[in-house]
Amino acid sequence: MIEEILPCIYLLQIPLPGNPLKTLNSYLIKGRHRSLLIDTGFNWPECLKAQLKGIADLGLNWSEVDFFITHVHGDHSGLVYTLATKDSAVYCSRVDADIMRACMTADYWMKVNGCFTLNGFPKAMISNQGETITNFISGSDMDFTYVQDADIIEVGSYHLVCTATPGHSPGHMCLYEPEHKFFISGDHILAHITSNITHWDGVDDSLGDYLASLDKIDDMDIRIVLPGHREIIHDHHERIAELKHHHANRLQEILYILTEGTMSAYQVASLMHWDMTYDSWDDFPSFQKWFATGEAIAHLDYLVKRHKVLRIQEEQKLVYTLFL
């Protein structure tokens, strides 16, 4: 399905079958000579079919299309290696481009898995993500055009300002058009659902970065937010307030859980409230426990940095306790 949501800006809803997100909002900004596609979908046949049909229906040739990748995750970056031509510029932050390359290697996943097992995640539940990643991302060799905060990309009559919003990923990048006041948010701001904020190697406070990025966007003059999933947002101030409230509640919940004693991040995650239909933590699929544990680690990192929680290494495991 294609919808022109602003002059020469088209929403392509890319299906994500079997995924709770349901669809990706991919945006095509049509220019006179070159157009810009923002995010691509997974390396899945259903996503590829929808992209090919969308660009064909818009009367474009792929050699006329450049790409902007908001962040590393496969539902946003997965098809760019397949769709980009030798004539395409592929814009991305250097930080997330480096992660995209690294995540195709076994060493990367060995380090990530080591972090999660150190935080109590059972080794028996860890899947071989180093082998399955190609099911989501179609390559690793790309000549990216790196962008940073305040860089400008011109497409047609639009002047798109790159806006760094680290948090959901270390190099998450959005686009802002100051004249028309629209903001393409990737996964930084979503309606009705919250972005997964997890721990990243080399980042000591992902949640703190995310909240600071929310404050940065809250100060901007925005009429409409075009998110990476779900509905368009018309009041970014209200939504940002809701997101900050959500994470404040998460932090308070963790502090309350730790009144029961010292725990690993995995144990903390098992006691947190998650908006899912399962009857108990034991019923969660392994991948949902993985995401939950990553979110627990990120919130614990935030509390450790602010001296609310103490992180202790016990042999081959990290545990957390209230800071007295």
What per-residue confidence (pLDDT) applies to 126?
86
The answer to whether the beta carbons of residues 179 and 159 sit under 8 Å apart is yes
Phi, psi for residue 136 in degrees, rounded to 5: -120, -35
What per-residue confidence (pLDDT) applies to 324?
78
Q: Strand 173-177 to strand 182-186: parallel, antiparallel, or no bridges (unpaired)?
A: antiparallel
Tally of residues, the chain: 324
What per-residue confidence (pLDDT) applies to 1?
75
| CA-closest candidate to residue 172, choices 245, 121, 99 | 99
Torsion angle in degrees (nearest 10) through CA of 27, 144, 191, 16: 70
What per-residue confidence (pLDDT) applies to 208?
98
- Report DSSP state, residue 319: E
What per-residue confidence (pLDDT) applies to 132?
63
Q: What's the whole-model pTM score?
A: 0.95
For 187-204, letters b (16+ CB in 10 Å) and e give bbbbeeebbebbbbeebe
Tokens 């923002």 belong to 38
Q: How far apart are CA 170 and CA 209, in angstroms?
A: 8
Q: Which amino acid is at 35?
A: S
Q: 137 exposed, middle or buried (CB, 10 Å; 0-12, 13-18, 19+)?
A: buried
The token duo for 133 is 């990643």
What per-residue confidence (pLDDT) applies to 12?
98
Q: How far apart are CA 4 and CA 198, in angstroms?
A: 34
The per-residue pLDDT for range 198-234, each reduced to its tens digit, is 999 999 999 999 999 999 999 999 999 999 999 999 9
Q: Strand 309-314 to strand 317-322: parallel, antiparallel, or no bridges (unpaired)?
A: antiparallel
Domains of the chain: 2-243 (3.60.15.10), 254-322 (1.10.10)
Q: How far apart are CA 71 and CA 68, in angstroms?
A: 9
Beta-carbon neighbour count of residue 324 at 10 Å?
4
| CA-closest candidate to residue 265, choices 122, 120, 112 | 120
Q: How far apart are CA 140 and CA 150, in angstroms?
A: 27
Q: How far apart are CA 311 and CA 302, in angstroms?
A: 11
- Report DSSP state, residue 324: -
**For each successive 10 residues of the chain (324 residues), what is the average pLDDT?**
94 94 97 97 96 97 97 95 96 96 89 95 81 70 94 97 98 98 98 96 96 98 98 98 98 98 97 88 91 97 98 93 90
